[in-house]
Homo-oligomer: A and B are copies of this chain.
């Protein structure tokens, strides 16, 4: 059995020299190298941007969507949408473990969720069993490979696996909130009513405590009401985050003119960088979890208004992120029930 590169470059077919994610085509032969594991896949959780693109291109016809997904995987050796570039994640059962795979506690038969993007995961689909058009999940018969540096979480017994899958998709966000928000902080969660936003709001309320203030900015009345009902913020503002001056005025009104120590951006639309920047105090932090963030708009935008703030690119991974996120589902009955309704 040969040993592969820790990052999976041994499976890159073209262009050579790149890592699997940037590659156009990777080798999805389902025979493992000594530092890989083989997974029997149960369900794919396609990235929301990718799923939406496929859904629209196929007019919501699940038969056509099936064909499109199979074509992509046959062509590229991985489920990476060629238009959006994004992937998603999967859950499955461990079928084989290479002798050089570092985590010795993992056992054959363990159920895991991969926490690296499908855009770099070698995948072979034998059959698509069901496409759930409501929640981006695709049940399949198939196999996948995880590299030595690939991260994953063992699925717990006490949480339904599709619920875990939905929550783990955004596990990086609440875990970063846990690291960034301190007692007494003023925190704004932009797009706080969505999936990652709800988990971030919960964590921010916990960290900021009684002396802090958590503000959620949400677009729809419905999502805003949910946050209020669930008591996940001290203040909820209904507004459009692509309108920076409006957001600035509304947020500073509820804080009596105080800027935010930490701003978390969880929206799924472009052009919300300036709102995040304007409401943050000098030497404060903006954490951009949204994949619609533009690097240049953020960099030039902060400079343009002379804001000395730290802007962080939302790394999907941070140590302990899966455990922290699953624990939120255990601790908050309300969030668990809502997510069950939305994502199972």
Contacts and interface: CB of A to CB of B under 8 A. Distances in A.
Contacts of A298: 313, 315
Given A295-B295, A296-B291, A313-B311, A17 B245 contact: yes
Contacts of A172: 303
Contact of A21 (B19, B301, B317): B301
Given A21-B301, A86-B296, A318 B308 contact: yes
Nearest to A47: B300
Contacts of A319: 282, 308
A207 interface: no
A119 B149 CA distance: 42
A133 interface: no
A301 B119 CA distance: 10
A81 interface: no
Interface string A218-242: 0000000000000000000000000
A116 B311 CA distance: 17
A142 interface: no
Chain A: interface size category:
35 or more
Interface of A: 5, 7, 9, 17-22, 85-87, 115-117, 119-120, 149-151, 172, 243-246, 271, 274, 278, 282, 288, 291, 293-319
B22 A271 contact: yes
A151 B7 contact: no
Q: Which of A19, A86, A243 has the most CB of B within 10 A?
A: A19
- Chain A, interface SS category: loop
A305 to B, nearest CB: 5
Contact of A9 (B119, B245, B296, B316): B245
A315 B308 contact: yes
B303 A311 contact: no
Contacts of A315: 298-299, 302-303, 307-311
Closest 8 CB pairs of A and B: A303-B316, A311-B313, A151-B306, A303-B317, A302-B315, A149-B305, A295-B295, A293-B295
7 contacts: A5-B245, A19-B244, A86-B300, A120-B304, A291-B295, A298-B313, A308-B317
A257 to B, nearest CB: 13
Given A19-B245, A21-B304, A304-B120, A314 B293 contact: no
Nearest to A87: B300
A48 to B, nearest CB: 13
B288 A316 contact: no
A298 B226 CA distance: 33
B300 A246 contact: no
A116 B295 contact: no
Given A7-B245, A302-B316, A303-B315, 12 more contacts: A9-B245, A18-B244, A21-B301, A117-B303, A151-B303, A300-B316, A303-B316, A303-B317, A306-B317, A307-B315, A309-B315, A310-B315
A317 B302 contact: yes
Nearest to A5: B245
A296 B5 CA distance: 23
